[in-house]
Amino acid sequence: MIRTNASLLTLTTAMTTMTATAQLRPIAFTEFDLPNGLHVILHEDHSTPIVAVSVMYHVGSKDEDPKRRGFAHFFEHLLFEGSENIGRGEFARYVEKAGGVLNANTNGDRTYYYEVLPSNQLELGLWLESERMLHARVDNKGIETQREVVKEERRQRYENQPYGGILLEVLDRAYTKHPYKWPTIGFMEDLNAASEADYQRFYKTFYVPNNAVLVVAGDIHAGKAKELVSAYFGGIPKGGEVPRTKVVEPPMKAEVRDVVYDRIQLPAVVMAYRIPAYGTKDFYAVDMLNRLLSNGNSSRLNTEVKDKQQKALFVGSFSLPFEHPGLAIAFGIANMGVAPDSLEQAMDAVIRRTREEVISEAELAKLKAQVETEFVTGNSRLEGIAESLASARTFLGATERMNDELDQYLSVTAQDLQRVAKEYFVPTNRVVLHYLPMSQKKN
Amino acid sequence: MRTTNMTSPATRALAIAGALLIPALMNAQVDRSKAPAPGPAPAVNVGGHDTFLLPNGMRVIVVENHKLPLVGVQVRFDIDPVLQGDKAGYQDLMGELLASGTVRRTKQRIDEQVDALGATLSTSNDGLYASSLKKNFPKLMELVQEVVKFASFPDDEFQKARTRMQSAVRTRVDDPDQIADAVARALIYGKSHPYGEVVTEESLAKVERGHVIAYYQRFFRPEKGYIVFVGDIGREEARVMCEQYFGAWKGAEIASTTENGVEVVQGLGPIVVGGSVPRPDPERLVCFVDRPGSAQSVIKFCSAVPLRPNAPDAMPAQVMNTILGGGVFNARLMQNLREDKAYTYGAYSSLSPDRRIGSWTGGCSVRNAVTDSAVAQIILEMKRMQEEPVTDAELALAKSYMAGSFARSLEDPGTLARFALNTYLNELKPDHYATYLQRLDTIGTDAVQQAAMRYLRPDNCFVLVVGDKAEVANKLAGYSLMNAVVFYDVDGDLYKEEFEPAPPGLTAKDVVEAHVRAIGGRSAIAAVKDMERSYAATVQGMEVVLTEHHKAPDSYALDMRMGPMTLQKLVYAGGRGYRQDMEGRVELNDIELADARESSHPFPEAHYAELDYEMLLGGIVTIDGKRTYRVQFNKENGVFTEYYDVETGLKVRRSEPEETAQGRIEVVTDYSDYREVGGVKVPYAIRQNAGMDMRFTATDIKVNQGVDASLFRLD
């Protein structure tokens, strides 16, 4: 909403910390289903007098009509417009008047709304989210305004930022038919075409209790919270069966290579490898491999490419944890005077080594120490815990998997790392982009 | 084995209760028509901290919190802002390099050890922050103390970091937000103040390793140091560590002298603290940084404000800014520019107190077409804060929001550490944070309005815009109280057009003659006795047709119409003329007559000499990928600039300032698609930008076909 997260790139950091949140001490929760199919998770923590109320709808840009790319995110904006009982603009006013904050974000797989409120305002949060689920309403002024706001969001985040278009360019080439091909922010022409009928259909199909997870976390009493949740959400009618995209992206057979020109001074090199879906065994191994490459100053890309060879101003590598097979993206911005080919060779050599050699026990232990700290740190805020709980339920099939995710990482072996490197981090399974300054474009 | 006795009274009672209970929950009547009332407000407890001094003067602060097995430590030095001058960047480099080697360990070794502990360690020019799981913290602390006390700044690491920073500076020109930040600082503080200095590739080239070391040794000293622990650690544990590692630390020996009351450090030079007081803000001034091709304009209103963190009105000032644009969605800027006008994804303002000189900034990123409208709305909102009191509802919302943010911030134990450190650094009252909520509660609308009068400067601020000059700059002059836009470069210096020198010996006259030759030569031009040309453009969906008639030696008529309606008409003959627009007919004044005299020539370039224009050849600049000669013309009543293609000789652009109701604007006219008609070449495409982009295409051009003399009648 205010800082809607339609970007997949920013999502990665969010999602790795958020889903990767098992802990030394597990997060305690209780959960239940309402008869209308709404899954509810409660987490009690009285250390600060605040409460987080959040709803994760299992709908993202991959569920869109290919002629309405960007609709899921646009829709997220519209769902702040009001409801049968909440006038235009009042949604945020109720929350802020109560001393709370609210926001939402959308990605390829889900749309997530939350409020963090003083704990005596729990009921307000439940009322707002149940109004949004039961009978959201948007008028014409709202639709037209948000259409322009989303266009400004696209300009601000992607078009007017150096290297801002990288992810869009990568996705477009990494997928041939799967809807991950288009960015969550969508396209202006599709947003222009979106109509009242689209709005109604999308709401009825996806914004139903049986397609949502409600999390209430913080300074609450589970018994009372359960009563209130039932009172506010129990009467919302169950929706029909939620359709899921059945498009399966065929495996890549050959490297895709391209050049993109942008308003930049220093070239960048991007290598995107297809990887397995989030939650699979190999996903965790690939994610560890990315940490080996770029987590911390002693990581391999940082030591070799940035430090020793001084070819990059910045270099990094991260995985996109998608519900369907995603991507691992290695990205470097060249130092002054370094040609993109030279940067690519240096990055490629580092990645090649992960295929050719098994990593040492010491290096594996380092990765495990890093991931352990990350898990503990990731659970320091209620807002993060609420999102992790909702994600585990939505994408890992069971809330308790949040608490064994650290084990998934810690059980990755040195041999696993080499195996996934050989399987996924190979030239025939990747897109390579050279991002070059506009001035180098030959007409 | 037990069997369930369905008739047992206890079971029956449970079953009945259950049957009642579940439907009761499902059918609980909630009144959806209005927001539920809150429960009793929970108490917000602001926790405390432990603190003690080490014998060498370092202050230790401990905030104990055992919720998670994590410990964080911050070592921070209270460093005065020092002017860096022509070697701007050495302070940032010191921060970047702090953990790049010690007398005992290489950078590689430090990096490996930090990562092996699963820890984080980040450094800056006033200290460092490190954190890890509790079990690894003692080893991390060993590294931390070594980095703080014995950083060695190895030469090879210095060279590498400087190259990286130079590369990073180069990428700054790509990022409109970074440009806006740097230029705004330069504008409001001035470049002779440490807050206004801009690091450049050139200034980094002047930095030597010795500067970095001297700065570190001079300012990393125990008497100005703080060690702050947060998390799963007790006071005693912290005390033992601090005494062991820092108790006997004295800091480096410094060779410094005092000259004219200014300290001069060997290897670094004079330590100018604070720099000059920022100049008083000028009358509102629009400053523009050109970023061609921008999809949006970044608008940043900014001014320096005398607001210290411990000022009595610091809190009403923050309430005021919250209502205007400080983070809440219901703030006026957000509601007006996003929710009502849909100009932007988000509009914000920010008020930053500082021990020396604070700042206020406000703005947003907007599409090119609404840049001027957005500027107007921001001015309006700033003035509205001053002219009328805020409503009680707005005040209540802002206060609730701030109280809520305060309570939420306490979720992070690091907040208490920040409070403690701020209290010392900013000389706050010891109960500053403990009384925060109480003090917030007492603020009224009058205090908010007073703060708006004091800290907002709608008529005395800089309006910085980073965007596409050709698309938006001209529309902004009217918002400058001096009616002009001032152009700056990305480093915050006044913009100077960069050009390569023209070949030696070449003169402006040669360049203009080359154009005359390229369009057909003087004899072909002289053979043109009359000419009629029409161009059409589409403006806001309507067709505009511009027609010019020329008849030798000195008759000229211009007619611009939209459909049947004449927008403008101008007739000139034999040294006299008039113009007519929607408001009626006016005789041309001297300035207009001079311009009309030039226009009366179908090919004025062939007549520049007789028009007494002084011509100056500037050099070669690139326009749309073409190298062109830039020629400046001084005429009796002003100046204009033209650009001639180096390769073809043809004129490609004329740029001329014009006074308008919106202020002084630059009218830029581009000529292309030259085609031959009757022996001379005429541009078939003309693009003119005077605040609005108009693209004219020739529809009809006739040479020596006879022109009706009645067109030039002056009666």
Is B280 within the bounds of a domain? no
Same domain for A226 and A334, yes or no, is: no
Is B498 within the bounds of a domain? no
Contacts B344 to A, Cβ<8 Å:
149, 152, 156
Provide the pLDDT for residue B8: 37
Divide the 443 residues of chain A into consecutive groups of 10 and give the mean pLDDT of each group. Answer: 38 34 71 98 96 98 96 95 94 96 96 98 98 92 92 93 93 97 94 90 96 98 96 97 96 96 94 97 97 97 97 96 96 95 98 98 96 91 95 96 94 97 98 92 68
**Which candidate from A151, A160, A298 shows the least CB-CB separation from B112?**
A298
Same domain for A35 and A102, yes or no, is: yes
Same domain for A276 and A174, yes or no, is: no
Same domain for A412 and A268, yes or no, is: yes
Mutate to test the interface with B, among A74, A154, A156, A299 (most CBs of B within 10 A): A156
Is A12 within the bounds of a domain? yes
Same domain for A198 and A268, yes or no, is: no
Same domain for B340 and B452, yes or no, is: yes
Answer whether A102 sits within 8 Å of B329, measured CB to CB: yes
B227 to each of A183, B71, B420, how far by Cα in Å? 46, 13, 11
Query: End of a domain among A201, A233, A265?
Result: A233
Same domain for A209 and A308, yes or no, is: no
Same domain for B256 and B291, yes or no, is: no
Residue type present at position A305: V
Contacts A365 to B, Cβ<8 Å:
116
> How confident is the model over B200-258, as pLDDT tens digits?
999 999 999 999 999 999 999 999 999 999 999 999 999 999 999 999 999 998 888 99
Contact A92, A102 (CB under 8 A): yes
**Which candidate from A263, A362, A443 shows the least CB-CB separation from B174?**
A263
CA distance A23 to chain B (A): 10
> How confident is the model over B59-79, as pLDDT tens digits?
999 999 999 999 999 999 999
Note which residues in 55-84 of chain B have CB less than 8 A from chain A: 67-70
B206: nearest Cα among B165, B261, B148: B165
Same domain for B453 and B535, yes or no, is: no
Contacts A297 to B, Cβ<8 Å:
107, 111, 114-115
Any chain A CB within 8 A of the CB of B44?
yes
Is A242 within the bounds of a domain? no
Closest-CA residue of chain A to B364 = A156
Is B44 within the bounds of a domain? no
> How confident is the model over B421-460, as pLDDT tens digits?
999 999 999 999 999 999 999 999 999 999 999 999 999 9
* Pairs of residues, one from chain A and one from chain B, whose beta carbons lie less than 8 Å apart: 238
Is A206 within the bounds of a domain? yes
Same domain for B399 and B522, yes or no, is: no
CA distance B643 to B645: 7
CA distance B56 to B222: 6
CA distance A266 to B139: 39
CA distance A179 to B423: 53
A164: nearest Cα among B365, B198, B326, B300: B365
Q: What's the whole-model pTM score? A: 0.84
Same domain for B555 and B422, yes or no, is: no
Same domain for A271 and A385, yes or no, is: yes
Answer whether B295 sits within 8 Å of A160, measured CB to CB: yes
Higher pLDDT, B535 or B281: B535
Contacts A235 to B, Cβ<8 Å:
26
Mutate to test the interface with B, among A34, A114, A298 (most CBs of B within 10 A): A298
> How confident is the model over B692-706, as pLDDT tens digits?
778 899 999 999 999
B488: nearest Cα among B511, B466, B510, B503: B466
Same domain for B218 and B255, yes or no, is: yes
Torsion sign over Cα A275, A276, A282, A285: positive
A9: nearest Cα among A262, A260, A320: A320
Beta bridge partners of B570: B558, B579
- Average pLDDT on B16-41 reads 66
Provide the pLDDT for residue B635: 86
3-state secondary structure of B286: strand
Contact A211, A239 (CB under 8 A): yes
Provide the pLDDT for residue B16: 38
Contacts B118 to A, Cβ<8 Å:
366, 368-374
Q: Which domain holds residue A162?
A: 8-233
Contacts A97 to B, Cβ<8 Å:
396-397, 400-401
Give me the CATH number covering residue A331.
3.30.830.10
Contact B345, B370 (CB under 8 A): no
Same domain for B465 and B519, yes or no, is: no
Same domain for B263 and B129, yes or no, is: yes
Number of domains forming the structure of chain B: 3
Same domain for B261 and B294, yes or no, is: no
Answer whether A162 sits within 8 Å of B174, measured CB to CB: yes
Task: Express as a percent the part of chain B with pLDDT over 70.
Answer: 95
Query: End of a domain among A176, A202, A233?
Result: A233
Is B75 within the bounds of a domain? yes
Contacts A92 to B, Cβ<8 Å:
329-330
Contact B441, B399 (CB under 8 A): yes
A144: nearest Cα among A85, A195, A217: A195
Beta bridge partners of B670: B653, B687
A130: nearest Cα among B402, B330, B403, B28: B28
**Which candidate from B26, B160, B334 shows the least CB-CB separation from A230?**
B26
CA distance B443 to B600: 68
Give me the CATH number covering residue B309.
3.30.830.10
Answer whether B170 sits within 8 Å of A234, measured CB to CB: no
> How confident is the model over B500-552, as pLDDT tens digits?
888 999 999 999 999 999 999 999 999 999 999 999 998 877 888 999 999 98
Query: End of a domain among B240, B270, B300?
Result: B270
Contacts A24 to B, Cβ<8 Å:
69
**Which candidate from A119, A157, A232 shows the least CB-CB separation from B30?**
A232
**Which candidate from B44, B119, B345 shows the least CB-CB separation from A156?**
B345
Same domain for A226 and A372, yes or no, is: no
Is B16 within the bounds of a domain? no
Any chain A CB within 8 A of the CB of B156?
no
Contacts B405 to A, Cβ<8 Å:
99, 101
Task: Express as a percent the part of chain B with pLDDT over 90.
Answer: 73
Same domain for B125 and B162, yes or no, is: yes
Q: Which domain holds residue B205?
A: 50-175+195-270
Instruction: Please name the residue ranges forming H helices in A340-442.
Output: 340-356, 361-378, 382-395, 405-410, 414-424
Beta bridge partners of B8: none
Is B183 within the bounds of a domain? no
Is A250 within the bounds of a domain? no
A397 to each of A392, B40, B332, how far by Cα in Å? 7, 38, 43
Same domain for A358 and A315, yes or no, is: yes
Note which residues in 88-107 of chain B have CB less than 8 A from chain A: 107
Note which residues in 612-631 of chain B have CB less than 8 A from chain A: 625
Average pLDDT, chain B: 90
Number of domains forming the structure of chain A: 2
Answer whether B411 sits within 8 Å of A382, measured CB to CB: yes
Answer whether A380 sits within 8 Å of B68, measured CB to CB: yes
Same domain for A214 and A262, yes or no, is: no
Provide the pLDDT for residue B552: 87
CA distance A44 to A226: 12
Mutate to test the interface with B, among A34, A152, A331 (most CBs of B within 10 A): A152
Specify the pairing of strand A312-320 against strand A111-118.
unpaired
Quote the Cα angle for B513-B519-B523, to 5°. Answer: 75
Same domain for A220 and A265, yes or no, is: no
B536: nearest Cα among B519, B516, B560, B555: B560
Note which residues in 402-431 of chain B have CB less than 8 A from chain A: 403-405, 407-408, 410-412
Answer whether A96 sits within 8 Å of B397, measured CB to CB: yes
Instruction: Please name the residue ranges forming H helices in B133-208.
Output: 137-150, 155-172, 176-189, 201-205
Contacts A369 to B, Cβ<8 Å:
115-118, 136
Provide the pLDDT for residue B282: 76
Same domain for A31 and A159, yes or no, is: yes
Token readout for B404 is 């809520």
Is A70 within the bounds of a domain? yes
Specify the pairing of strand B584-587 against strand B680-689.
unpaired
Closest-CA residue of chain B to A297 = B111
Query: End of a domain among B239, B270, B301?
Result: B270
Quote the Cα angle for A127-A128-A130, to 5°. Answer: 65
Same domain for B292 and B266, yes or no, is: no
Same domain for B380 and B297, yes or no, is: yes
CA distance B69 to chain A (A): 8
CA distance A250 to chain B (A): 36
Chain centroid to Cα B390, Å, comes to 28
Q: What is the DSSP letter of A121?
A: G
**For the sheet containing A212-218, what is the strand order?**
A30-33, A39-44, A212-218, A50-57, A111-118, A101-106
Instruction: Please name the residue ranges forming H helices in B427-527.
Output: 436-441, 445-455, 469-472, 508-518, 522-526
Closest-CA residue of chain B to A439 = B625
Note which residues in 289-348 of chain B have CB less than 8 A from chain A: 291, 293-296, 298, 328-330, 334-335, 338-340, 342-346
**Which candidate from A94, A235, A362 shows the least CB-CB separation from B35?**
A94
Contacts B300 to A, Cβ<8 Å:
none
Mutate to test the interface with A, among B63, B339, B367 (most CBs of A within 10 A): B339
Answer whether B330 sits within 8 Å of A48, measured CB to CB: no
3-state secondary structure of B225: strand
Answer whether B136 sits within 8 Å of A2, measured CB to CB: no
> How confident is the model over B165-192, as pLDDT tens digits?
999 999 998 999 999 999 999 999 988 8
CA distance A304 to A293: 10
Mutate to test the interface with A, among B128, B159, B174, B367 (most CBs of A within 10 A): B174
A376: nearest Cα among A27, A12, A1: A27
CA distance A440 to A259: 11
Residue B57's contacts (CB-CB under 8 Å, 6 or more residues apart) are B222, B223, B224, B225
Closest-CA residue of chain A to B406 = A99
**Which candidate from A161, A231, A333 shows the least CB-CB separation from B28?**
A231
Residue B596's contacts (CB-CB under 8 Å, 6 or more residues apart) are B556, B570, B572, B577, B588
Answer whether B171 sits within 8 Å of A264, measured CB to CB: yes
Give me the CATH number covering residue B615.
2.50.20.10
**10 Å Cβ neighbour count for A70?**
25
Contact B354, B307 (CB under 8 A): yes
